[in-house]
Structure 1
Amino acid sequence: MAACLAVMAAGAVLGAPDTARAASTATVPGSVSPAVPAATLVGAAPSSQAMTVQVWLAPDLAGAEAFADAVATPGNAEYRHYLAPSAYTARFAPTAARAEAVASWLTAKGLKAVHVDGGRDYVSATGPVSAVQSAFQVRIGRYRAKDAAGGGAEFQSNDREVSVPAALAPDVLGVTGLGDGSAARRGTAQSAPTAPTASNSPNSPKPATCSRSWAQHVHGFHPAYRGLTKASLPICGYSAAQLRAAYGATWTATGKGQTVALTEETSPTAMFQTLTDYAKSNHLPLPKRSQLRQVTAGSACASPTRARDAADGPAVDDEAEMDSEAVYAMAPGADQLMVVGQGCDEDQALLDAALAVLNGKGDRPQASLVSNSWQIPLGEVPAKTVHAIDVRAAAEGVGMYFASGDTTGLTVTDSDPYAVAVGGTTVGLGPAGNRVFETGWSDDYGYLDGGKWTDVGISGGGGGTSGVYRQPAYQKGVVPPSMARVRVGKQTVTGRAVPDIAADADPDTGMLTGYIDTVSHGKPGPYHTMPNAGTSLACPLIAGLVADAQQGREPFGFINPLLYRLAGTRALHDVLPIRPSAPQQDRSAWIAADGAGTSPGIDVFDAQDAAQTQQVTAKGYDTMTGVGTPNGPAFLTALRRAPR
């Protein structure tokens, strides 16, 4: 109701269209951010501000889905008989005439640089805000989202769903570029929440802050928190050797001959040198320059707002470095293609990066695996836009791996049934990389101040059940009915459950990553290390392992139909809840005070609280870790021996 009222109010500003005009246009469902109704309008976007929009075109989705299912399902006659990008365009994309009709309309509305992309996935056009508003019958403004503290970030958005000519509406999936994509988020987890200033004595001795292997250091404390009086210190950052041992990466399978694409929003500094330094410090083979290639997709943004947003970003942004290093740790022989999306709309830029891999060079995609360590919140872009990209990928034999996110619930990107959604775990590894314990990443954080504990809440990986997509065939008989059912309006439906598979993601058990900062005169500085985590770590770890399995073989493509057949077998490690009888040091991590006046705290693992999240860790499939985590060489062998 609030959304409807917001649209009605906005319509009053624009003026109600006359009957003839209303009959000649149609709105595009899902083309306005769900954050708009609850946000505060700060002001209008400058009418002269340049914008680049993309009108996404509707392919023959039904036909493409049927083909994608056939080539991804073991035992089907079409199994792994993929289409080249040009063949997919010819068979399933809208006709050139339909694409040109959309292009002609945009040109007639005064937009410039109108261009149909090579795969006929979208038509792009550039123009001032005034021309874009007139074309799509919207108003574009700056909004401030409201958070629990009463503040909130600013974002740009259209005020209502866009309108297009009724004759063109069947050909339009959605429109991107009207906002700035400020709600798009990477999958990297942050450290534990900062607590208020401690009232404890500043002269208290400082304990060790982290461990090299699980339970190397254990800290005792009083009073008890949730029945616990001791906890292990978090990991300083696992090495490549520890993670390789945990997931069974072997030196006979290094991903040689495979290409893993990494879609990014920022360009790293001196990536090849960074990867070389990472390899040296982790005793891995040194990379060859031919193994790492970086390209851009989209056009750079000249918007002062986006430039300001970038300036206000984190002091250290090592997202791309972590993605590259995680893949290299698992698959040091694989080639890496880093695609950096550009543009004023972050969502659009990241989708451009993913699509650039699929359009390839006409005869083949640029990679057979794409690691996407980012997510777009529900409603920020039309779901069909992401769906069309994932279906194309499956038909072309490209595996699309998406981080499930670092907040509970679903995203547009992880809930699609043709994406491999990668969830997160908390994993304690011994000195030799042996798994001491592993459970779903869902930490309840509390801090100690003045001898009293305060519970801050739960943080963890994303997951849940989609109310948009029905349960795909590959999940039937594997996902328990209790986890597959979801309320949609007044009905209970069986939906697509997320995630599909998982790997290490908890900041308390993350990976030691490296980065190089830019110093004076644009020159790279020294190599630094820091622990990093999140489902954006889990995602490239899984992609690297699948590259190992693909070595010397045809692309596996979309692996979910095969993956769910492996549920309950030796190929996967079933991630279970932590038992109450488990040693206390395996149930939580002690977060030491940082020396700047903050209180110490504790992360209690595998926290289940229906009031905060409906996700659970359970035997078999669960909505935190999917079917489980890779179980060493058995995982690689099972992927290779898929029945024809």
Structure 2
Amino acid sequence: MSTSARAVLAAALVAATLPATAAVAAATPMIPLHHMAVQPAPLPTDQCVAQLARHCYSPAQLQAAYDVTPLHAKGITGTGRTIVIVDSFGSPTIQHDLEVFDKQFGLPDTQVEVLKWGEVPPFDPTDSDQTGWAGESTLDVESAHAIAPGAKIVLVETGVAETDGPVGVPEMMSAVNHLVNAGEGDVVSMSWGTGERHFPGYEVGDYTSLTTQRYAFQNAAKHGVTLTASSGDGGGAQPGLGGFWPSSDPLVTAVGGTHLNLDNAGKRLSADSAWSGSGGYVSQVFDRPSYQNSVRSVVGAKRGTPRRQHGRRP
């Protein structure tokens, strides 16, 4: 993989580790960035901790923490590469929100290409599903742009909310397959997922309703397109409850979350620690791929997730 491709993959990994949709949808309704005043300068981390009792990290700090800064210094920013982000409904203010984000943190502007796949309903600010997905879309796009500011970003908006089980999944897989066939996308980032056990037939060992959705991933693998997905934000599952798909799919890089402890310059003050909410599962559907043979004592005969860990704190 080339260095520019690695920069794009890092961006997609950061985007994929953001909270899964179910948790975002249940949160306080999103306030679009165009309704928020731009501060003269973002608070540094030490002041965030003192005033807000939380760690606030800028794009520059995350770039330093994940050693992306040297790549940017060499002009390797993802230019010529495309990150595809797949979310239900999307956000009606995504371009303006990204421009505010870029201005706030000194990032170059870029035009987000929005692909509406299917019948995407008009945005309803009173619909918690739509506002939740709008927040998810904004997080995903801004995170990807922060790590790979030169990459093209395509936001795919589907018209059916992805929920537990197969609802919304066919639309997403159809969109991914279309973009792969069109040669559009080097990395596909998916910050969503659903439990394997929620697919019809799971309880009787019939996984057809899930495995028939893999055609888009199989096509992506043939075309050399990297797939990343969040391992979820519900913590580890009990044995036998199955994995969190699509991160449980062997064709997908599963991304979990960690706590970062950085100073104002992005240097680590301590080692990363596992975030207790990060999803961790052993699939009941997929066998252990060969690349996990070194951890067979942990995952057994089945695919284990996550495979990569990235910072959870904003």
User: Which TM-score tier does this pair reach, normalised by the shorter chain?
Assistant: 0.7 to 0.9
Match among 186, 190, 197 for residue 379 of structure 1: 197
Q: Structure 1 residues 189, 423: closer, same or farther in 2, change over 3 A?
A: farther
Task: Give the corresponding residue for 2:107.
Answer: 284
Structure 2: distance between partners of 1:271 and 1:215? 28
Match among 357, 362, 371 for residue 176 of structure 2: 357
2:58 maps to amino acid: S
Task: Give the corresponding residue for 2:259.
Answer: 426
Greater fraction strand:
1
Contact (CA 8 Å) 2:88, 2:161: kept in 1 or not? Answer: no
Contact (CA 8 Å) 1:259, 1:335: kept in 2 or not? Answer: yes
Structure 1: distance between partners of 2:287 and 2:44? 44
What are the within-5 Å matches in structure 2 for residues 221-240 of structure 1?
233-235=53-55, 237-240=56-59
1:370 maps to amino acid: V
Q: Structure 1 residues 426, 375: closer, same or farther in 2, change over 3 A?
A: same
Task: Give the corresponding residue for 2:308.
Answer: 501
Q: Structure 1 residues 216, 342: closer, same or farther in 2, change over 3 A?
A: closer
1:341 maps onto 2:158 in alignment: yes
Residue identity (%): 26
Structure 2: distance between partners of 1:256 and 1:280? 20
Task: Give the corresponding residue for 2:299.
Answer: 484
2:268 maps to amino acid: R
Task: Give the corresponding residue for 2:45.
Answer: 213
Match among 83, 86, 107 for residue 260 of structure 1: 83
1:352, distance to aligned residue in structure 2 (A) = 2.1
Task: Give the corresponding residue for 1:441.
Answer: 275
Contact (CA 8 Å) 1:261, 1:336: kept in 2 or not? Answer: yes
Deviations 1:50-83 (A, max 9, x none): xxxxxxxxxxxxxxxxxxxxxx9xxxxxxxxxxx
What are the within-5 Å matches in structure 2 for residues 572-587 of structure 1?
none
Structure 2: distance between partners of 1:344 and 1:326? 22
1:393 maps to amino acid: A
1:186 maps onto 2:21 in alignment: yes
- What TM-score does the superposition give when structure 1 sets the normalisation length? 0.37
Contact (CA 8 Å) 2:282, 2:299: kept in 1 or not? Answer: yes
Structure 2: distance between partners of 1:241 and 1:350? 35
Q: Structure 1 residues 380, 298: closer, same or farther in 2, change over 3 A?
A: farther
1:495 maps to amino acid: K
Aligned pair count reads 259
Contact (CA 8 Å) 2:58, 2:105: kept in 1 or not? Answer: yes
Structure 2: distance between partners of 1:265 and 1:191? 15
Q: What secondary structure sits across from 1:401 in the alignment?
A: strand
Unpaired runs of at least 5, structure 1: 1-71, 73-184, 193-210, 220-231, 443-459, 486-493, 511-644
Q: Structure 1 residues 361, 496: closer, same or farther in 2, change over 3 A?
A: closer
Task: Give the corresponding residue for 2:184.
Answer: 366
Contact (CA 8 Å) 1:298, 1:349: kept in 2 or not? Answer: no
2:275 maps to amino acid: W
Contact (CA 8 Å) 1:260, 1:334: kept in 2 or not? Answer: yes
Task: Give the corresponding residue for 2:223.
Answer: 396
2:149 maps to amino acid: P
Q: Structure 1 residues 216, 376: closer, same or farther in 2, change over 3 A?
A: closer
1:389, distance to aligned residue in structure 2 (A) = 2.6
Structure 2: distance between partners of 1:357 and 1:432? 37
Deviations 1:310-332 (A, max 9, x none): 72448664111111100000001
1:189, distance to aligned residue in structure 2 (A) = 6.1
Structure 2: distance between partners of 1:411 and 1:277? 34
1:412, distance to aligned residue in structure 2 (A) = 2.4
Structure 2: distance between partners of 1:370 and 1:188? 21
1:269, distance to aligned residue in structure 2 (A) = 2.5
Task: Give the corresponding residue for 2:249.
Answer: 416
Task: Give the corresponding residue for 1:172.
Answer: none
Structure 2: distance between partners of 1:216 and 1:343? 37
Q: Structure 1 residues 474, 430: closer, same or farther in 2, change over 3 A?
A: same
Task: Give the corresponding residue for 1:406.
Answer: 233
1:496 maps to amino acid: R
1:439 maps to amino acid: S
1:188, distance to aligned residue in structure 2 (A) = 5.6
Contact (CA 8 Å) 1:187, 1:406: kept in 2 or not? Answer: no
Structure 1: distance between partners of 2:65 and 2:48? 17
1:474 maps onto 2:294 in alignment: no
Structure 2: distance between partners of 1:217 and 1:191? 25
Q: What secondary structure sits across from 1:374 in the alignment?
A: coil
Q: Which has the larger radius of gyration?
A: 1
2:185 maps to amino acid: A
1:466, distance to aligned residue in structure 2 (A) = 1.7
Task: Give the corresponding residue for 1:464.
Answer: 281
Task: Give the corresponding residue for 1:311.
Answer: 127
1:499, distance to aligned residue in structure 2 (A) = 0.7
Structure 2: distance between partners of 1:269 and 1:215? 32
Unpaired runs of at least 5, structure 2: 2-19, 28-42, 200-208, 238-242
- What TM-score does the superposition give when structure 2 sets the normalisation length? 0.72
2:274 maps to amino acid: G
Q: Structure 1 residues 434, 253: closer, same or farther in 2, change over 3 A?
A: same
